[in-house]
Amino acid sequence: MARIAAIGVMLVLAGCVAHSPPKISPTPPSVAMPTESGTSSYYDRDQDGLVDLELHELGCCDRDWALVDDDFSGRYDRLVRWSYSLMERPVDLPVATGVKVTAGQPSLSGWEK
């Protein structure tokens, strides 16, 4: 009987170890508001009145990220994050509206096209 109980305990523990943690989506919201620890800035790079670059600077720890409209279509095409390395992935999200827009673009680290 003790052997069966020990086998049962081992099976339960093996199940706990084999269970993977839930996956957290790396995609931030399409229009993030400034946070307590950072700021969000919106840029119109081609002077058409629409946001083309949504920059989120969190202040530390290489956690900054941006949404970029490369073809100036009114929809973000790319999500860019920089940390120890540059990470990019395609997105299809509407650009931010109703936000303060700055003409031009910020001086960044060379990832912008």
Both tokens of 101, joined, read: 């827009």
Residue 54 CB partners (closer than 8 Å, separation 6+): 31, 32, 40, 41, 42, 43, 66, 67, 68, 76, 95, 96
Predicted local distance difference test score (pLDDT) of residue 34: 41
Q: Where are the domains of the chain?
A: 32-106
The string of pLDDT tens digits covering residues 64-79 is 889 999 999 999 999 9
- Which of the residue ranges 38-42, 51-55, 103-107, 108-112 would you say has the lowest mean pLDDT? 108-112
Cα distance between residue 51 and residue 67, in whole Å:
10
Give residue 58's pLDDT: 79
Burial class (CB in 10 A: 0-12, 13-18, 19+), 103: exposed
- The Cα–Cα gap between 101 and 103 comes to 7
Q: Is the pLDDT reported for residue 15 higher than 60?
A: no
- pTM for the full model? 0.62
The pLDDT value recorded for residue 54 is 92
Strands 39-44 and 75-82 come out as: unpaired
Task: Examine the pLDDT at 19 and tell me if it is beyond 50.
Answer: no
Query: 19 or 51: which carries more pLDDT confidence?
Result: 51
> pLDDT tens, 20-63?
444 333 444 444 444 446 788 999 999 999 999 999 887 777 77
